[in-house]
Amino acid sequence: KNIVILISGRGSNMEAVVHAAREEQWPARIAAVISNKADAKGLEFAQSHGIPTAVVANKEFATREAFDAALQETIDRFAPDLVVLAGFMRILTPGFVAHYDGRMLNIHPSLLPLFPGLHTHQQALDAGVARHGATVHFVTAELDHGPAVLKAEVDVLPGDTPDTLAARVLVQEHTLYPRAIRLFVEDRLSIANGDVRIADKTNI
Ligand code: GRF
- Out of 49, 108, 119, 132, the active site residue is 108
- Sheet with 148-155: list strands edge to edge: 53-55, 29-35, 2-7, 82-85, 104-108, 131-138, 148-155
Pocket mutation for ligand 1, best pick of 107, 108, 176 (most atoms within 8 Å of C-beta):
107
Question: What is the domain partition of the chain in residue ranges?
Answer: 2-198
Q: What is the ipTM of this complex?
A: 0.97
pLDDT digits (tens, 9 = 90+) for 51-86: 999 999 999 999 999 999 999 999 999 999 999 999
| Atom number, ligand 1, closest to the C-alpha of residue 15 | 13
In the reported structure, the alpha carbon of residue 12 is separated from the centroid of ligand 1 by a whole-number distance in angstroms of: 7
137 is catalytic: no
Residue 104, marked binder:
no
Measure the CA–CA gap between 137 and 12, rounded to whole angstroms.
18
> Does ligand 1 have an atom closer than 6 angstroms to the CB of 109?
yes
Measure the CA–CA gap between 35 and 192, rounded to whole angstroms.
29
pLDDT digits (tens, 9 = 90+) for 79-126: 999 999 999 999 999 999 999 999 999 999 999 999 999 999 999 999
Largest CA distance in the chain: 48
Q: Which CATH architecture has domain 2-198?
A: 3-Layer(aba) Sandwich (3.40)
